[in-house]
Chain A
């Protein structure tokens, strides 16, 4: 489909899938070289930016996020801001104060989260790249559920200037596409130092050696608790990798089980401080009765406009850093993060990558999700969280489909700054993988 056709049909397509919260009104790509979309927690000058939250409705940023600015400079046309869990707080993109994206393979199912709208757009539109953001798995999870490639690079690889923060020591901006080659191409555009984000200023240059992965470690901890279909597809994928001449070895990574609680402590501690700024002043539409005393005014706005999961994570994160609990939770989690990093470094000394399924199951139906407790959905992240807490680059690669035709993905993790290995892996895998694109009826 031509860029023009895509732009003309945006409204109709979106009404079916709800991938976008805000969309361009242009119907002509002009002299654009490519079209792209971006998660709605990346600031954009020309489109409202809400990060899935009602508390930010009416926020029209005065500046573009560096990642978006770089895509535009390279000739990209931003067509929409993609729906997501509020501030990234979720696994299914259903924790939103705005619209909930639908899975392109089955509209009754979720896209995964929190970059659900981005995965959906990457799956639905031809030749489309979408910028996602991962804090605990928010690129790989939806990429897996929507059957696309997705990479979350090393922490600090892409400037977070213009990213509406969830957890600043965890957030990473990455790329999602149905084409493996897009990962290298667009990561090359958005990566690199940016003086506006100090954490982006220590990175070595991203390599393009096309180096191939020679050996893979599969942690035993990563093959537990899988659904039957996922286990089968993953076993087949391992066979295929062996056929490709790659060594596959089972290893133990005992630290992985601690990553999940450590992640939720760090992420919510940071999130609860990031969200403290939303008080009904300065930005966003929410305005209340200013004659209330400030404590009451702030509380009333926050209680009304934050969603359920945002409140839960604010409470959890406020608790884990409070006097009397800080040492047990926040300080311990900081140390556990280092233990997880050390565990990866140890395994990656002898292997090029660590591999496991991305999610333990395929995209669930919305009615199944509403029956899950908060803890149930946190636990669903156990495979994606470790690489995120370690800041190591990781990538979802589609590797099969379940009995309902829903996509299954696997996640490769490389050492810090070794994105090149992952790009090459995706490019090699794509050659022999039979990708089933969803049927898109506009």
Chain B
């Protein structure tokens, strides 16, 4: 995989790469994708599912309910007045 593509992928995935990493992953991913060329010759199939077994029509009734105390979920988070703290937006 060429460096430019790796850089683009890394930016999309929000991973910063050092120069060494960029080189290493370009090489590794190149090698892996070459091996994946096997897929091009693999037979296809018109049917395919979201899961290996069919999981269909599992639904929940529209009944509000809270099982876990929200305070318990917030206890390990960085908060301010119950708001979760996050980074700068722009």
A residues sitting closer than 8 Å to B (CB atoms) are 58-60, 62-63, 154-156, 169-170, 195, 198-199, 201-202, 255, 257-258, 260-262, 264-265, 272, 276, 279, 281-283, 287, 290-300, 302-303, 306, 311-312, 314-316, 318-319, 322, 328-329, 332-339, 341-342, 373-375, 378-379, 389-392, 416
Min CB–CB distance A197 → chain B (angstroms): 9
Known interface pairs A281-B78, A293-B88, A339-B43; 9 further A-B residue pairs with C-beta atoms within 8 A, sorted by A's residue number: A60-B76, A62-B68, A201-B55, A260-B38, A262-B42, A279-B14, A302-B13, A315-B29, A337-B48
Contact B45 A339 (CB under 8 A): yes
Ranked 7 nearest A-B pairs via Cβ? A391-B52, A297-B87, A198-B58, A258-B42, A303-B16, A318-B13, A294-B87
Q: Are B88 and A312 in contact (CB under 8 A)?
A: no
A315 touches B84 (CB 8 A): no
Inter-chain contact A302/B14, CB cutoff 8 Å = yes
- Nearest CB on B from A91, distance (A): 14
Q: Which of B72, B77, B88 has the most CB of A within 10 A?
A: B88
**A199→B5 CA distance, assembly (Å):** 35
Chain A residues with Cβ below 8 Å from B40 are 328, 332
The residue of chain A having its C-beta at the shortest distance from the C-beta of B41 within the complex is A258
A293 touches B42 (CB 8 A): no
Q: Which B positions have Cβ atoms within 8 angstroms of A?
A: 1, 5-6, 9-10, 12-17, 21, 25, 28-29, 31-32, 35-36, 38-40, 42-56, 58, 60, 68, 72-73, 76-78, 84-90
Docked CA distance A62–B72 (Å): 7
Q: A298 contacts B42, CB within 8 Å?
A: no
Contact B56 A337 (CB under 8 A): no
- A59 to B77: give the CA distance in the assembly, Å: 10
Count CB-based A-B contacts (< 8 Å): 176
Does more than half of chain A's interface fall in helix, strand or loop, or is it mixed?
Answer: helix
Given A154-B53, A195-B60, A202-B56, the answer on whether A315 and B6 have CB atoms closer than 8 Å is yes
Residues of A within 8 A of B17 (CB): 303, 311
Which of B46, B52, B72 is A389 in contact with, Cβ under 8 Å? B52
* CB <8 Å contact, B15 and A375: no
Residues of chain B with a CB closer than 8 A to A195's CB: 60
Does B21 contact A338, Cβ atoms closer than 8 Å?
Answer: no
Chain B positions within 8 Å of A328 at CB level:
39-40
Residues of A within 8 A of B56 (CB): 202
Q: Assess the A374–B86 pair: CB atoms within 8 A.
A: no
Chain B residue numbers with a CB within 8 Å of A300 are 16
Complex-state Cα separation, A319 to B25, whole angstroms: 12
List A contacts of B50 (CB < 8 A).
169
Tell me whether A311 and B55 are in contact (CB under 8 A). no
Q: Is the CB of A315 within 8 A of B89?
A: no
- Asked if A264 and B86 sit within 8 Å, CB to CB, the answer is no
Chain B residue at smallest Cβ distance from A262: B39
